[in-house]
Structure 1
Amino acid sequence: MATHARLAPRPAGAARARTWWGKAWVRAVEEAAYAEEDLVRGRRLARAGRVGGITVEPGRFVAAVEEGDDVLTVSGGLPELDPAGSAALTEVVAAESGRIAALLGGDLPHPLVEHAEESGVELLPFGGELATRCTCEPWADPCHHALAVLQQLTWLIEADPFVLLALRGVGRDDLLARLHALSEPADRGATDLDVAADAARRAGRLLELLDDPDASLDHLW
C-alpha cells in the first residue's frame, strides 16, 4: 500500500526559495511554464494561500486550488526511479554516514545529489518532467493552477527533502529499510569472521594441549 503524506498549505505571503535545491526546483517550474503570465498568476494564487493541503505519495501529488468561486483539483508527479535507480540511490546515501542524518535533519547535501547523478540517478527534475493535470481542463499543461501547486511544493521540498525523494518513488521508510538491508550483509560477514577467528584460536590451543597433555585446560576458554 502506498504511503500518503498530508502536507499543510504554505502560509500566505511566505518567502521564496532559500535553499539551493529549492531554487533548483523553482528553475524547473519556470522551465515547465508556457508563458510568464501563467507563472505570475500561479505565484499570486500560491502567495495568497489559495492552495490547499498537498497529498504526496510515491511519484504523485494532488491538491485543491481556489480561484474565485471555483475549486480546482490539480494532480501531477515525477518519473519514479526504477529498481536499479533506487538501489543506486541507496548506495549513494550509504556511502557517507552523515548523509542519512542530513536528510532526516531537513538538509539535502549537494555532494549527495552530484554523486547520485554520477550514478545515473536524477533527483532534481527539469521542466519537462513536471507532468500535471487540472480539472480546469486547460489547452496546455501546466496551467496557472498547476503552477501554483508546483510553487507551493517548493516550500515543502525545502522543509523536508524526503518530499522530493517520495516524488521520485522512494519514501522515507523505504529508504531507511533499504539502508538497513544494505548494512546486514556486512554485519553478518563480520560475525562470521569473528566466529572463524575464535574457532582458529581454539584449534591452536587444542594443538598446544596435544603437545603438553599435563597443561591446564583453563587457557582454552
Structure 2
Amino acid sequence: MSAVTHPRFRPRSGGRGSTWWSKAWGRTIEESAYSVEDLRAGKALARRAAVGHIVVSEGRFVAPVDEGDDTFTVEGGVERLDDAATAMLVDVVAAGAGRIASLMAGDLPHPFVEAVEESGVELLPFAGELSWTCSCSAWMDPCRHALAVGTQVGWLVAADPFVLILLRGLARDELLARLQSLGSAADSAEPGVAVDDLDTGLDAALRAARILEVSEDPDRGIDHLV
C-alpha cells in the first residue's frame, strides 16, 4: 500500500489556491455536513492549522486534530475503484496525448474528467462515497474535526490531482508503471503502430517531475495554498 504524509498547514494571510476539482471536492464536504454550524466550525479548525500531518493512502486518509487541550484522530475513507474501473481509468489517461503530463504538472483538465465519466468511471466522489470516524464523542459523522480534515484534503487535491487518484485506489507510481506497460505492449504486439504520443508524454512528465524534485525547496511544502 502506498502512503504519503503531508505536513501540517501553517496559517498565513491571504487566500489559498483553489481549482475547479478542489471546489468540487469542497462541495462534497459541504454536502456531507449535518449542519451549517458543524461545517463552519470544521473550516475554522482547518484555517487555524488545528489539523496535523495528513497521511493519504489508497482509499483512506488519517490525521490528528487539536482542539483546546485535546487531540482527536480522524479517519476518512473514499470508495475505491474496482479493478475494471481502475483499468478503464488507465486506458483513458493513455488515450489522450499530454494527459499524463498535465497530471504531473498538477492539472486535472476538465475534458479528461469528462472522458473518464463517459467511460463509466467516477473520479470525483460524492458525499455518499465518503466514510468518517473520529475519536471525539460527537454522535454524528462527520463531526467538526472530520470536516476540518476533509477541508484540508481538498487543499491537497488542489495542489496535486494525484492525491485524488490515490484516494480512488491508484498510486502515482502504479499509474506510471501501467502506462509504461501499455506502451511496451502496444509496441511489441504491433510493430509499426505509433505509440509516440504516450511515450513522449510520459517521458516529458517524468523529466518534469525529476526537475521539480531537484529544484524545489524541500522546506517550502504546500502551505502557500493556505
TM bucket normalised to smaller: 0.7 to 0.9
Query: Is the Cα–Cα contact under 8 Å of residues 46 and 152 in structure 1 kept in the other structure?
Result: yes
CA displacement 1:41-90 (0-9 Å, x = unmatched): 00110000100010011010000000000000000110100000000000
Please, which runs of 5 or more residues in structure 2 have no aligned partner?
Answer: 194-226
Mapping of residues 55-134 of structure 1, within 5 Å:
55-134=55-134
CA displacement 1:125-167 (0-9 Å, x = unmatched): 1111121100004211000000000001111001110000000
Shift of 1:183: 1.3
Residue aligning to 2:22: 22
The answer to which structure, 1 or 2, has the higher relative contact order (CA under 8 A, 6+ apart) is: 2
Tell me whether 134-143 or 5-14 shows the greater mean CA deviation: 5-14
Structure-2 change in CA distance of 1:38 and 1:180 (3 Å): same
Residue aligning to 1:6: 5
Shift of 1:182: 1.3
Query: Is the Cα–Cα contact under 8 Å of residues 12 and 46 in structure 1 kept in the other structure?
Result: no
Work out the number of aligned pairs and report it: 192
Shift of 1:10: 2.3
Please, which runs of 5 or more residues in structure 1 have no aligned partner?
Answer: 194-221
- Percentage identity across aligned positions? 55
Structure 2 Cα separation of the partners of residues 102 and 35 of structure 1: 37
Shift of 1:192: 8.0
Mapping of residues 158-173 of structure 1, within 5 Å:
158-173=158-173
CA displacement 1:24-54 (0-9 Å, x = unmatched): 0000000000000000000110000100010
2:156 aligned with 1:156, yes or no? yes
TM-score (norm 1): 0.83
Shift of 1:15: 2.7
Secondary structure class of the residue paired with 2:132? strand
Residue aligning to 2:211: none
Query: Is the Cα–Cα contact under 8 Å of residues 32 and 142 in structure 1 kept in the other structure?
Result: yes
Tell me whether 6-15 or 62-71 shows the greater mean CA deviation: 6-15
Structure 2 Cα separation of the partners of residues 188 and 132 of structure 1: 46
Query: Is the Cα–Cα contact under 8 Å of residues 63 and 75 in structure 1 kept in the other structure?
Result: yes
Residue aligning to 2:201: none
Tell me whether 35-44 or 120-129 shows the greater mean CA deviation: 120-129
State the 4+ residue runs in structure 1 displaced beyond 3 angstroms. 190-193
Structure 2 Cα separation of the partners of residues 17 and 28 of structure 1: 18
Secondary structure class of the residue paired with 1:108? coil
Query: Is the Cα–Cα contact under 8 Å of residues 17 and 26 in structure 1 kept in the other structure?
Result: no
Secondary structure class of the residue paired with 2:28? helix
TM-score (norm 2): 0.81
State the structure with more CA Rg: 1
Amino acid at match of 1:184: S
Alignment root-mean-square deviation, CA: 1.5
